[in-house]
Amino acid sequence: MPYGERRRGERRSGGRRVDDRRRARRNMAIAAAWAIVGAAVVLYLFFVTVGTIDPTKARAASITVLVLAVAWLAHAWRRVIIQGGYVSRPDRERRGF
C-alpha cells in the first residue's frame, strides 16, 4: 500500500524571529541611549560640584544638560509610574528563575 507524502511545505512564515530580534535590538539601543543621557547629566553635575565647570560661563552646556535632565526624568517617571516599575523579562518564569 503506497503511502502519500505526509510532509508538507514549511508552515512557519519565518519572519517572527527576525522581527523579535529587530525589536530587541531597538529596545536595547533605546535603553543604551537613555543610559548615556543619564550618565552625561551625572558627569556634568560631578564637574560642576568639583568646580571644573562654571554653569554661569558655560550657558549652552548648562541649558543642554538641563533639557537632557528633564527629558531623562520624564522618561524615568513614565517608566516607573505609568508602566508599573521595573518589569523583568517574561521568560524568567518559564525558565524557573
Domain ranges of the chain: 16-86
DSSP letters for 40-55: HHHHHHHHHHHTS--T
Question: Of 72, 76, 18, 21, nearest to 43 (Cα)?
Answer: 72
What are 42's three cell numbers? 551625572
What are 25's three cell numbers? 535590538
Instruction: Supply the DSSP symbol for 37.
Output: H
Q: In a structure prediction context, what are the per-residue pLDDT tens digits for the chain, which is 97 residues long?
A: 556 666 666 655 556 787 888 888 998 998 899 999 999 999 999 999 999 999 999 999 999 999 999 999 998 888 777 766 555 555 555 555 5
The reported pTM is 0.65
Binning the chain into helix, strand and coil, the percentages to the nearest 5 are 65, 0, 35
What are 56's three cell numbers? 554661569
